[in-house]
Amino acid sequence: GRYFRDHRSVGGRVVYVSDGDTFRVAHTPPLSRVLHPAPGEKKEGKRPKLSDTTLQVRLMAVDTPEVAKFGKIAQPYANEAKAFVEERLLGKHVDVKLLSRDQYGRAVARVSYYSGLNPIPRDLSTDLVREGLGVIYRQGGAQYDNPEGVAYWNRLEARAKEQGKGMWGAKGGRVELPSEYKKRMKAGG
């Protein structure tokens, strides 16, 4: 409740990357009760489940190509987007600004990280869109965390398209958006 309502930030280490826009963060233990109201009981001699000890984060503003799952093939650039996130975040500290929860209970958040010796934090959503590894998320529950709202993100995406970055440089010119791919797969694909 309060952490999301107040858009508070929490720090943690990225321990697992699902795809280009979703990953798990091991956060400070005192926040476990706040972020996970009903954590599972630890069974004697068994390791706790990842879902009981980490926060599942869904990046705000961006939708990356879908990786292969449930027998469905990956979209072009899905593996590149996942690798981009793994290279920058896996095992590293991030700052997670909590914005809301999505329909799956994931924390929709702005995620900042440090690159090299640069003391200025980078925004992961911005970097994915600039590199053409993600599109602007325009479905229900979209969060943009920017005074300009979606206009800021539209400009970033347009620049990546003009420069032919990532998926925007695909042969044939037609890019199937992640939302279109999900809809097609749901319909039997």
Residues with a known catalytic role: 58, 66, 106
Strand 22-27 to 9-19 pairing: antiparallel
Nearest 5°: phi and psi at 83?
A: -65, -40
> How far, in whole angstroms, is CA 41 from its chain's centroid?
28
CA–CA gap between residue 135 and residue 64 (Å, rounded) = 6
CB 94 within 8 A of CB 12: yes
CA–CA gap between residue 9 and residue 96 (Å, rounded) = 5
Closest CA to 94 of 30, 29, 146, 27: 27
